[in-house]
């Protein structure tokens, strides 16, 4: 039997993090621009067994959701603001532990499966590690 299969865009298993719950550390936090020129933060999370996951967060502080998301993220990591004014460098975030949940979804716009950050919460000292 002959097979003719288009595997365009396929990845080897293990080249992306599996959906699940993870206790991770912040490896990097940087300000960038998206392909379309919009401001974003590239946040790299690292897990000692599963590898890295990069989340691109909206950094346009004109949008309420972006402001609320960043405020919650920094608060969960333990950074304190002074009257909602946060001053920090990437060094203040690197190495901080955090719990995250990743989900796998099909993106209709790109016609690809992607792993997304579904939620995050404070690391309380008890590591979570559960792949779906």
Q: Convert the pLDDT of each residue in 92-131 to its tens digit.
A: 999 999 999 999 999 898 888 889 999 999 999 999 999 9
pLDDT band at 77 (very low <50, low <70, confident <90, very high): very high
The pTM of this model reads 0.85
Q: Which has the closest alpha carbon to 88: 69, 103, 108, 70?
A: 70
Residue position matching structure tokens 């959906």: 19
pLDDT score recorded for residue 6:
77
For the chain, the average pLDDT equals 91
Domain boundaries, the chain: 20-131
Q: Which has the closest alpha carbon to 13: 56, 47, 50?
A: 50
User: Going by CATH, does the domain composed of 20-131 fall within 1.20.120?
Assistant: no
């Amino acid at each position: 039997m002959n097979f003719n299969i288009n595997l365009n865009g396929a990845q080897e298993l293990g080249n992306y993090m599996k959906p699940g719950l993870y206790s991770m550390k912040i490896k990097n936090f940087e300000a960038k621009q998206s392909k379309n020129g919009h401001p974003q933060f590239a946040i790299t999370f690292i897990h000692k067994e599963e590898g890295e996951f990069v989340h691109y967060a909206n950094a346009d502080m004109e949008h309420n959701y972006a402001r609320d998301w960043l405020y919650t993220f920094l608060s969960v990591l333990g950074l304190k603001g002074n009257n909602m004014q946060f001053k920090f460098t990437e060094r203040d975030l690197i190495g901080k532990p955090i719990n995250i949940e990743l989900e796998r979804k099909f993106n209709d716009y790109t016609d690809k499966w992607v792993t997304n950050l579904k939620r995050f919460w404070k690391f309380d000292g008890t590591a979570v590690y559960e792949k779906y």
